Amino acid sequence: MDTRSFNKFNPIARFRAPPPTVGVLRLYGVIGTPSPWSRHLSLSGLAQGIEKAFKFRNLKAVALAINSPGGAATQSALIAQRIRAMAEEKDVPVFAFAEDVAASGGYWLACAGDEIYADENSIIGSIGVVSAGFGLDGLIERIGVERRLYTSGEKKALLDPFLRAKPEDVKLLQEIQGDVHESFKGMVRKRRRGKLRADEDELFSGQFWTGRKALELGLIDGIGDLRTVMRERFGDKVKLRPAGLRRSWWQRRHGNAGGAAAAGPADWAGGALAAVEERLRWNRFGL
């Protein structure tokens, strides 16, 4: 009789406790509302995966595998809030693991973890807010184009790239950025309470650091990778179960665009601009 047959009729083997399980949720990429040209991280795209990560049998923890240069503040907050809500509902600890980068919104996601780990060379931090755009008013003047814009509401055309920026409009944008920055700082203060070991002026300046320096500053709890830390915490028999959603053959072949094969020039232009924007976010951290 082989081992499997023996275990089938062995009541002790049949009722042996299953190995501990850790649900693994991958948070890779720029954060923001998905478009036909990108697969940005968003709550709508991750909600089912988050639910799945907390439903495995004999679950001991959920691990977040993060590799993100940031993105939209609102989506960062919504994703982190949903993870924390599930952790509290299921009474399960969450561990965050930064890979190449967990910066800006990526660090916001990491703060959803009860403990944060990174590689010595990971990029961590960038706790700030940025808005970018182009001023094209001089260009259209040189090529002889007249901008015609009609609005109802004096602030409706706020910071239009084809108009010269007004100081009062810039001030309003900075006030909005300040509000978002305060939300970000509040998240870090709450989740890293008692662990931060540097002045807030330094930590919240938008600067970023390597994992080694981030550990000194108290932004992370340790140096380590997901598999090693989880095996140390829950034993060599721990099962790491990915919580990603299954994608159909069509989705794997064509991505989110679906009808990409029939896309017109505008679609290709949008895709090119989205790719450039995403590449710039990674390039900011030397990646």
- Could you confirm whether 55 is annotated as catalytic? no
8 A C-beta contact, residue 29 and residue 41: yes
99, 119 Cβ separation under 8 angstroms: yes
Phi–psi pair at 49, nearest 5 degrees: -65, -40
Distance of CA 77 to the CA centre of its chain: 9
Which one of the listed residues 42, 68, 76, 104 is annotated catalytic?
104
Active site residue 239: no
The tokens for 233 are: 């915490």
Catalytically annotated residue among 156, 166, 190, 205: 156
Report the catalytic residues: 104, 156
